[in-house]
Structures are given as structure tokens and as C-alpha cells.
Chain A
């Protein structure tokens, strides 16, 4: 259940539902991944 919840929250809600009307959705998601992959200061 916990893993399903994480996927629903991250993929479905944050990435798909939040961005589905954005023309540059791909860039938004790529930027998000970039930010996440940067090492913490």
C-alpha cells in the first residue's frame, strides 16, 4: 500500500494531474528531476 501511495502522489498527482494542461510539461518534469539529483548543499 505504501508504495502505491507514493506512486499515486508523485506520478499521478504531482506530475500528471498538476501538469497535464501545461504545454511545457516535459521540461517542468525534467527540471524537477534535475533539482532532485543535485547534491544537497
Chain B
């Protein structure tokens, strides 16, 4: 009988894995909602500590604050950003054409053998189409309004529900564990809570600082479309390792249109900012964070990108943070009770 029980367990386990795989995109959104609820719950608890004792009122105030900030961002930043991003997407092929022109001229001047141009041509064409596709996809991410609005709405409503009664969801999650492990799981959730809090504060700070520094640097260098490039640099900071490398491509392409020295100056600027961020800022604001070896981080990014697409790279921190969100939510509930 024990053997039969084990076999049934194995079958159920495999079936569960299959179901989880099928609904992975929705799970990503759910995890994003949990992370958002976690962040909002911090604000709610802060409000409760400061002035407003009633949790319901604190939640309402937090939501009004969040919607206010979102509305402000949409009115002030998003229209010029989307406009500039569209220009950027149009500019990149022009920049690559110019680079190809230079390479051809250089080849001809040096060797007078047009046969050798072909590999270079192929390479620049491939790089150009890859980069254009990448940034067009990124643009679609922002302009595919119906899908984005529906997903945002789903995440927002789910977050509000989690925020309203966090204890219920934490208890539910802990019940997924075997009975002997439940208290230990609860304890681990507590640890996740602290880690996620530190991470969220750190990443927000880093994104702001990088956007600000890149913006100032690009403005000083007179590179066009400063706002789009700065916001892009800030947003891509969210993706460790890969993000900063991606964010340097558009400003370099734009700078190349002006002068080659400018492209090198932009590259140096971004390297300096990244070094500043990873060696000074990150250790300052995320000092308590345990870090995985860089090879593990990079490998996990590639795996996530292949599972969930480009969006997966963005939501990966959210996925990792998801379980913590449940935890944080319940801490909030317990605090309230």
C-alpha cells in the first residue's frame, strides 16, 4: 500500500508540474501582484504607525497615493517617453547604415578589395536587425495597450485583494507545506520579507540614480532623446548584468549619428555610472542581501528569458519576490491583528 501511495504521489507531482508549466504566464502576473501588495503593505503599515490607526483607511489612502503617482507619471513622462522611444526605434537602423558606410569606406580605403566586405556587411546587417527587433519588441511592450492595461488591471486588483486580508493568503500558502514544516516555512517567509524589503528599496534607489546620472551625462554630451535614454537606462537596471549592456546601445547609436568620439564618450559614461552603481551604491543600499555567484545569476537570466520571453527578464525579480509578498502580506495582517 505504501508503494502504491508513493506512486500516486509521484503521478500527482508530475501532473502538478505540468499544470504549473501551462499557466506560467499567469503565475508570473500573480507573483507580480504579490510583490506589489508587499510594497504597498509596507506603506500601509508606515501610515498606520504614523497617524492612521484604521487599516482600511490606510489602505484607501495608499491606493489613492499610488494612483495619483501613476496618473502623474502617465501625464508628465509617458507621452514624451513613448514619442522619443519611437524616434529611437526609427533612428537605430539609420545609425547602423552609417556605421556600415564607414566600414565599407574603411575597407575600400585600406584594401581596395570589395570581396572582403561581405562578412562585415552580413555581420552589421544581422546586428542591426537583431537590435531593431529587440527595441521594436520593447516598444510593443509599451504600445500594446489593451494587453498591458488588462494585465495591469489584473495585477492591481489582485494586489488590493491581497492587501485587504493578507493573513488569509499567508496561512493558505503555509498550508501547502507538510504539517511538520509549516512553522519553519512561516519563519522562512519572515526572512524573505526582510530580504525583499531591502531589495525593493535598493532597486528603486538604484533605478532613480542611474536614470538621473545617465540623463545628466547624456544632456552634457548633447546626445538627442535624453529623456527616453535616461528612463530606458533606469528601467533596464531592473535586469542585472544584461540590462545595463542593453541600455547603452541606443545612446551609442544616436551619438554615432553626431560623431564617433561621442559614441566612445557615451560608452565611457555608462561604464563609469555602472561601476559607481555596482561598487558603491549597491553595497551601500543592499548591504544585507545575500548574493548568488555571478555565473548563477547570468545563467538563471538566460533560462528565464527562454522560458518566459523578454518579459520574463523583467518579471523575474517579481517571480523571485512573489513568495515573499505572501509573507509580507501576512506579516502585515498579523501586525494589524
Summarize B's interface: helix, strand, loop or mixed.
helix
Is A2's CB under 8 angstroms from B324's CB? yes
Query: How distant is the Cα of A4 from the Cα of B324 in the complex, in angstroms?
Result: 9
Knowing A1-B316, A3-B195, A7-B192, say if A32 contacts B323 (CB, 8 Å). Answer: no
Is A1's CB under 8 angstroms from B292's CB? yes
Taking CB as reference atom, which chain B residue is nearest A10? Answer: B188
- Interface-side segment among B146-154, B162-170, B178-186, B222-230: B178-186
Closest chain A CB from B178 CB (angstroms): 9
- Interface residue tally for chain A (C-beta within 8 Å): 19
Which of under 10, 10 to 19, 20 to 34, or 35 or more describes the interface residues of B?
A: 20 to 34
Is B184's CB under 8 angstroms from A15's CB? yes
Contact with B along A1-29 (1 / 0, CB 8 A): 11111110111000100000000001001
Knowing A1-B292, A1-B297, A2-B198, say if A10 contacts B181 (CB, 8 Å). Answer: no
Is B184's CB under 8 angstroms from A32's CB? yes
Knowing A36-B187, A37-B187, say if A2 contacts B289 (CB, 8 Å). Answer: yes
Q: Is B320 an interface residue (CB 8 A)?
A: yes
B residues in contact with A26, CB < 8 Å: 180
Taking CB as reference atom, which chain B residue is nearest A9? Answer: B290
Is B324's CB under 8 angstroms from A3's CB? yes
Closest chain B CB from A23 CB (angstroms): 14
Closest chain A CB from B200 CB (angstroms): 9
Is B183's CB under 8 angstroms from A6's CB? no
Chain B residues with CB under 8 Å of chain A are 180-181, 183-188, 191-192, 195-196, 198-199, 240, 289-292, 297, 300, 316-317, 320-324
Chain A residues with CB under 8 Å of chain B are 1-7, 9-11, 15, 26, 29-30, 32-34, 36-37
15 more CB-based (< 8 A) A-B contacts, given A7-B323, A11-B185: A1-B199, A2-B198, A2-B199, A4-B320, A5-B320, A6-B192, A7-B192, A9-B290, A10-B191, A29-B180, A33-B187, A36-B183, A36-B184, A36-B187, A37-B183
